[in-house]
Amino acid sequence: MALTFTLLGTGSPRPSRRRSQPANVLHTDHGPLLLDAGEGTIDQLLDLGISPRDVRGILFTHMHKDHILGYPAVVWGGWTLGRPELSVTGPPGTRRMHDLLFKELYADDITYSKGIGFEEQALAGVAVTEIESGATFETHGLAVSTTQTIHSFYNLAYRFEHEGTSVVFTGDTTYCEDVVELAAGADAMVCEVTLAESPEYDNERGRRILTLLEKDHCDPAMAGRMAAEAGVGRLIVNHLIPGARTDLIAAGLAREFAGPITVGEDLMTFSV
């Protein structure tokens, strides 16, 4: 049976009309499973025809802003529509993020919302679980395994398996042998390529930023190398900075990886 997923957002922290911030959704028999929730996630879900009410599970790779800014909108949106429960899983820091938002920042608004008829259980029923590298579990009918990547924040890469089909999402990382091991033999790998050539970064500030990001992120050669070493069936890349030259990204990937390559765009859907 095919494992189907959609790239909701393929962008980066810098705002872009073309690319929403990082988010993905896996389509399962148990409903949509959200992976990361950058700014714009709720709009992308709606464009895809998915109601926030039906999102009962969210996984996070890490707590960088561009992967979590859309989280409160998804939680609030599902609550307004009567979502009965929500499971949230992520690395250390996930619980603190949720508590700061929904036990402190929005406390008065939550009291008000309950007063106008929002069901208390919908928010009280948000179950937050923190996991670390090597964690394995099942959710939405999928077997999930994880590893920590090389990044400035604690980032988890996820491998999802279902009836002999597998896909790996790296989250943010530079070249990482643990990711290669996690992705070994996967049907598809979704990997970031933040370090791509872009005319919008062809200035002193832009070049300085990309240089500082070299220890945290992949360029196309790194992503292609990991895919080749893991022996994945297909490579899909995301986390593109504004103006990134997709032709140069594809060429850089192809120099390292001989299999099928896709430079991701928002709302692309894949079945593997």
> E strands of 151-212, at which residues?
156-162, 165-169, 188-192
Tokens standing for residue 125: 């029923």
Q: Is the distance from CB of 25 to CB of 142 less than 8 angstroms?
A: no
Neighbours of 126 (CB within 10 A): 18
- Does the pTM surpass 0.85? The reply is yes
Site of tokens 């073309």: 18
> Is the Cβ–Cβ distance between 57 and 83 less than 8 Å?
no
Helix (H, G, I), strand (E, B) or coil at 187: coil
If you count them, how many residues does the chain have?
A: 272
Task: Please give the residue range of the domain that contains residue 259.
Answer: 4-271
Angle at 159 (CA atoms; ends 210, 170), nearest 5 degrees: 0
φ, ψ of residue 45 to 5 degrees: the values are: -60, -45
CATH number of the domain at 173, please: 3.60.15.10
The tens place of each residue's pLDDT in the chain, 272 residues long, gives 689 999 999 999 999 999 999 999 999 999 999 999 999 999 999 999 999 999 999 999 999 999 999 999 999 999 999 998 999 999 999 999 999 999 999 999 999 999 999 988 888 889 999 999 999 999 999 999 999 999 999 999 999 999 999 999 999 999 999 999 999 999 999 999 999 999 999 999 999 999 999 999 999 999 999 999 999 999 999 999 999 999 999 999 999 999 999 999 999 999 99
DSSP 19-65: -PSSEEEEEETTEEEEEEE-TTHHHHHHHTT--GGG--EEE-S---H
Pair 253, 223: CB distance under 8 Å? yes
CB 22 within 8 A of CB 34: no
Distance between CA atoms of residues 28 and 43, nearest Å: 20
Rg (CA), the chain: 18
Q: How many domains does the chain have?
A: 1
Question: Which tokens sit at 266?
Answer: 């928002």
Q: Which residue has the tokens 């049976």?
A: 1
Tokens representing 138 are 């099942």
